[in-house]
Amino acid sequence: MPHYKNYPIYGIGVRGAGKDWHCQGLIFNAEDKVTEIKKLECAELIFATKSKAEAHGLKLCKAWIDTENGETEPNSPTNSASLKDRPLAIE
């Protein structure tokens, strides 16, 4: 499992309708490494492959950790909340 700033993180590809993939990200406690502290989902983004969905899940985790540590603004381009207006397909 990859780590980012001492937090274990995990990107997950979730099978959508047809051949599409969606992403999730899991962040675990930096101290005990087993307690899940945040689950991120981005159902509005559609990916062509599982690996691309997993990679984006890791990006979501990193952006959340940076925001929680005060390193980025909550409404920055790395925040997926601004993408909720429309579904996007990522090839």
Establish if 86 belongs to a structural domain: no
Q: pTM for this structure?
A: 0.76
- Amino acid in position 51: S
Put residue 32 in one of left, alpha, beta given phi > 0 → left and psi -120 to 50 → alpha. Answer: alpha
Q: Is residue 89 part of a domain?
A: no
Beta strand pairing call for 88-90 and 36-47: parallel
Domain assignment present for 90: no
The pLDDT tens digits for 61-77 are 999 999 998 887 655 54
pLDDT tens profile 41-58: 988 899 999 999 999 999
Q: Is 88 inside a domain boundary?
A: no
Where in the sequence is the domain holding 51, given as residue range(s)? 3-72
Q: What is the total count of domains within the chain?
A: 1
- CA 6 centroid distance within chain: 17
Model pLDDT, residue 10: 97
Report if residue 41 sits inside a domain: yes
Q: What percentage of the chain has pLDDT greater than the value 90?
A: 66
Q: Looking at the domain assignment, is residue 47 inside a domain?
A: yes
pLDDT at position 39 over 90 = yes
